[in-house]
Amino acid sequence: MIKQFLKEYWILITIVTLFVILQIVALQPHATPYWDAAVYVGSGKYLFSHGAVGTWEALRPVALPVVLGAFWKIGINPYTAGIVFSLIISAAFLVLVYVFAEDIKKDSGAIAAVLLASGATYFTFGAVPVTDITSTFFAVLALWLTYKAVRGSQYFVAGIVVAFAFMFRFPQGLLLVVTMLGAVVALFFEKRKKGKWNDAVVSMIERVFLIGGGFCVIVVPFLVVNYIAYGNPFLPFIQATAGITGYASLYQKGVWFYLVQFLREDFLYIAALIPFGLLFWKKMYRSKAVIMLTVAIMFVGGYFIVYQTHKELRYGLAFLPYVVILAGVGIMYVLEWTKMPRLLFFGLFGIAVFMFSVGFFVYAAQNPNNETFYEFNAYLKNIPDAHVLSSTPYMFAYSDTLLTHNLYGDWNDAYSDYNAFRSANDYIELDSCNLNQRCADDGGYCQHDKQALLDELNKQDTKFFDETTPQSQCELMIYKINH
């Protein structure tokens, strides 16, 4: 059985194994944590310490903080555990994409898996404890379960899985609509006796309600807790929407941003148009799965491409896997039409990926800022339970401190918050690069209070850390607040 398994799936095993090995090689012990990942670690600590350490932002979904906080509670470094958790999910995602594409077109699964694994954005976030890949994994799994479902219980489970995706990332709630539409699409692909359409429609309505029921089993208790905690069950969604409107100069890239960037990343993604186009050509190419994937791209991709003005490449991971699955199917059609061997395709593709990716590893290993950022972010690791004002959340990856008030705005905000909350804190951490970012959106006026804040700190408090990163020239300062 093992020999048969290895013989049948050796390409997939090779892809997943190489992906995991390269992810481990790319890990840098002194690299700066990702902002959102550090916040999720802090939120997990806050949950499991009952507010004694960490931080809390109502706009964040709670699933990842629960996972990371549980690791912290049992004595495992939550950021390291998050890396391992994310890597496992990313590797499992390659298997899921393989299976989904294989269900549509035989021998296309390995192509779809290698397209996803080799994508620069997917690889960059493959071992980062943020929600983009994990939430999309559950979203794609829910869509696949809906596609394969034949019984009511399977549709109910698909609804639960959509809820998991939603609890990791709120926009994935769009999959509730997509999976319900998938149940409708299934109606037209099922064989039935003549005159049995009424029964089929009733069955379809039942499936839609089962998906919704599974979703509500998880989400309704979350809304109730929100109402108890905040007085408004929808406060996290409201704050999340408001929270991504800032930094217009950095993130409002226009409607063509994802299309242009992803095609630069891999022009083979354009092959996703092939199975979509074939839907309208011959009946033999009409596939329930292709239609469902297209609907997912329309809803999820439409939200991020058209509606959401805040653009980041990692946000595109919410819909990229649907594109990749269709692209894998499309490329397989091309290989059949041109009679090109799959191994030749993988060989040529592997050479191209190596040529474009080697620079990533060289830069990651030689980034001169890493050591200085690590010293700054880990400075308070031997001072547990300290109350901190900070312009970044990175210290949560290394220390158990309480962020009483964040200084995530600009120098003006930092100055006013310092004066308002100085007496309740032990330390203040300042990263000039973060505090300068918002200045680009207000003409630089936020710089006015920079010197005032530094003068006051130097007059009243004690500077313990003062370094500048060699490449990015970020001024990193830590002051002990004297009371």
pLDDT digits (tens, 9 = 90+) for 327-353: 999 999 998 888 877 777 777 776 666
The SS3 assignment for 114 reads helix
pLDDT at 30: 67
Reported as a pLDDT band with limits 50, 70 and 90, residue 210 is: very high
290, pLDDT greater than 80? yes
Q: In sequence order, which residues have a C-beta less than 8 Å from that of residue 105 and are 6 or more positions away?
A: 275, 328, 329, 332, 333
pTM over 0.85: yes
Average pLDDT, the chain: 88
Reported as a pLDDT band with limits 50, 70 and 90, residue 194 is: low
pLDDT at 11: 87
The SS3 assignment for 452 reads helix
How many domains would you assign to the chain? 2
Q: What is the DSSP letter of 33?
A: P
Residue pair 453/414 in contact by the 8 Å Cβ criterion: yes
Query: What integer is the mean pLDDT of 131-144?
Result: 97
Q: Assess whether 137 and 185 both reside in one domain.
A: yes
Question: If you count them, how many residues does the chain have?
Answer: 483
* 1 part of a folded domain: no
| Tens digits of residue pLDDT in 351-400 | 666 655 555 554 555 677 888 899 999 999 988 889 999 999 999 999 99
Domain closes at, from 339, 366, 393 = 366
Q: Assess whether 40 and 93 both reside in one domain.
A: no
β strands within 239-359, DSSP E: none
Residue pair 213/156 in contact by the 8 Å Cβ criterion: yes
Q: Assess whether 269 and 360 both reside in one domain.
A: yes
Reported as a pLDDT band with limits 50, 70 and 90, residue 247 is: low
Q: Assess whether 171 and 95 both reside in one domain.
A: yes
Q: Assess whether 255 and 115 both reside in one domain.
A: yes
Q: Assess whether 168 and 264 both reside in one domain.
A: yes
Rg (CA), the chain: 25
* 402 part of a folded domain: yes
What range defines the domain where residue 358 resides? 77-366
Residue pair 102/342 in contact by the 8 Å Cβ criterion: no
* 284 part of a folded domain: yes
Q: What is the DSSP letter of 440?
A: G
Q: Assess whether 289 and 433 both reside in one domain.
A: no
Q: Assess whether 420 and 343 both reside in one domain.
A: no
Q: What is the DSSP letter of 396?
A: G
Q: Assess whether 39 and 83 both reside in one domain.
A: no
* 16 part of a folded domain: no
Give the pair of three-digit tokens for residue 417: 């918050």
285, pLDDT greater than 80? no
Measured between alpha carbons, how far is 211 from 156 in angstroms, rounded to an integer?
Answer: 5
Q: Assess whether 444 and 331 both reside in one domain.
A: no
193: left (phi over 0), alpha (psi -120 to 50) or beta: beta
* 17 part of a folded domain: no
Query: What integer is the mean pLDDT of 456-463?
Result: 93
Q: Assess whether 351 and 475 both reside in one domain.
A: no
Strands 462-468 and 427-431: unpaired
Give the pair of three-digit tokens for residue 437: 């970012």
| Tens digits of residue pLDDT in 17-69 | 999 998 998 887 767 789 999 999 999 999 999 999 999 999 999 999 999 99
Q: Assess whether 168 and 277 both reside in one domain.
A: yes
* 7 part of a folded domain: no
Reported as a pLDDT band with limits 50, 70 and 90, residue 446 is: low
